[in-house]
Amino acid sequence: MPPRRSVKIPESSFAWIARPAAYNPLVDQAGSNMIARTADSFEDAQSRIKAGEPLSLEQGIRLYESPDIFTLGELANSVRERLHGRRAYYNVNLHINYSNYCILRCKFCSFHRPYSKQPSNGDDGGYELSIEEIAARARAAYARGATEVHIVGGLHPKLPFSYYTDMCRAIREACPHLHIKAFTAIEIIHFTRIAKPRLTISEVLVRLREAGLDSMPGGGAEIFDDRVHDEAFKTKVGEAEWFEVHRTAHELGIFTNATMLYGHVETPAERIKHLIKLREHQEASLRSRKAHFNCVIPLSFVPDGSALSHLPGPSGLGDLKTLALARLMCPNIPHIKAFWIMQTPKLAQVSLNWGVDDVDGTVVYYDITKREGGGTTHQELTVDRLQRLIREAGCTPTERDSLYHRVRRDDNTWSVEGGTWSVPYNPSPRDTDGKGNSRPIAMTVSC
């Protein structure tokens, strides 16, 4: 193993928006002879990272392929520390998946169910939640101190656009300060088509915002590549539409996130190209739009139950390298999130020293993948457990809201730093560990 080298980056090089005008990361094509042609690109990459300059495709590939994994981790960590010091973010949230009926058949997805005209009584594993049920779940989470509800679902063939606006309105009414982060770009395109009369992306977003939508999650991006698209999610709208939705949202001042689903049929070069496309979009948004991406979330493919279940999925080292590359390739996107539901709490914890600064949140219920929680939808990390994972990694647990403002908790109220209101809540019930120490009752994930 090569010796560990320490990488020091001056505090002042917070240059994550800067980029030389002549730089074009897509000029080079990924290919087998590229690594040989760029023997010195690893060293070049290090100096570019130190200078806060963006990396090329070939430099990204070189870093990914390098056996010097310690230097890769240290480089990614140096960027993370330049942006966030030793802070590691989490939030108190609730995920709601409103329906698993979907008109698409993405091969990586084990969540979707075909819709049948006959009432199924749930025998087909399909479901759709009523607005009342969704509002009740949001209300209960809000009463326990959640600051965010994250809502996504399948592309339902029958529900009208009003279902989605009514959903936002009902939550907004029941929970005035709960941040509603909802609907992937793919769902937004679906809404433009089901609305009667049809609406533009901008019209859909404006109506959702009027109904209470605050920001959008980053799902549905998968891998921006035609070959991968045709092989793994052919019927889904492609990269152009995904970016059009996010561009429109940013123009309207709606902040969004961006994902990358890795570890299925794509190559490392295709991952790095995906990250470069996110960086370029971000650059345009930072330059001329009202909002931008807040974070990149590399999602580790969970093969179980999908049409690609014969694939092994990413290894632990593959997870770490991909998270580190996300940090290094996208220095202009403030946060890199490891979603513990997919990377596992253990790996999310380790990744906090590999470029990651955010581990998402308490989640509570999650139906899209089921790795944790014994195969059930109840997949929850308590705040105590999130904080412990973060502290053990040598970081300072920092509760954030959905837009990365710090959240303050005093007695039984929470407020956002600099905000003008505070929200009362009742923390989750606690029991004792038999030695008189209190502990939260819900604890389904061991780590």
Binding residues for ligand V47, rule: CB under 6 A, are: 108-110, 152, 184, 217-220, 222, 257, 259, 261, 297, 299, 301-302, 306, 339, 342, 360, 368-369
For residues 81 and 222, which CB has a smaller minimum distance to ligand V47 in the complex? 222
Residue type at position 258: A
For residues 154 and 331, which CB has a smaller minimum distance to ligand V47 in the complex? 154
Work out how close the CB of 153 gets to ligand V47 at its nearest, in angstroms, rounded to a whole number: 10
Give the torsion through C-alpha atoms of 366, 205, 281, 32, to 10 deg.
50
For residues 219 and 318, which CB has a smaller minimum distance to ligand V47 in the complex? 219
For residues 77 and 184, which CB has a smaller minimum distance to ligand V47 in the complex? 184
Sort 2 into a burial class: Cβ within 10 Å, 0-12 / 13-18 / 19+. exposed
370, 101 contact by CB (below 8 A): no
For residues 155 and 269, which CB has a smaller minimum distance to ligand V47 in the complex? 155
Positive or negative torsion for Cα 395, 399, 402, 406: negative
148, 401 contact by CB (below 8 A): yes
245, 188 contact by CB (below 8 A): yes
The closest of 347, 131, 108, 352 to 231, measured between CA atoms, is 108
Give Cα 142 distance to the centre of its chain: 21
For residues 45 and 336, which CB has a smaller minimum distance to ligand V47 in the complex? 336
Residue at shortest CB range from ligand V47 = 219
Q: How far apart are CA 217 and CA 92, in angstroms?
A: 16
Q: How far apart are CA 49 and CA 15, in angstroms?
A: 10
Work out how close the CB of 404 gets to ligand V47 at its nearest, in angstroms, rounded to a whole number: 11
Work out how close the CB of 413 gets to ligand V47 at its nearest, in angstroms, rounded to a whole number: 25
Element (H, E) at 140: helix 131-143
Work out how close the CB of 208 gets to ligand V47 at its nearest, in angstroms, rounded to a whole number: 16
The closest of 107, 263, 240 to 186, measured between CA atoms, is 240
Work out how close the CB of 366 gets to ligand V47 at its nearest, in angstroms, rounded to a whole number: 9
Work out how close the CB of 256 gets to ligand V47 at its nearest, in angstroms, rounded to a whole number: 8
For residue 440, what are its two tokens? 């939260």
For residues 73 and 217, which CB has a smaller minimum distance to ligand V47 in the complex? 217
Work out how close the CB of 216 gets to ligand V47 at its nearest, in angstroms, rounded to a whole number: 8
For residues 148 and 280, which CB has a smaller minimum distance to ligand V47 in the complex? 148
Q: How far apart are CA 111 and CA 286, in angstroms?
A: 34
Q: How far apart are CA 63 and CA 276, in angstroms?
A: 14
Strand partners, 365: 378
Work out how close the CB of 302 gets to ligand V47 at its nearest, in angstroms, rounded to a whole number: 4
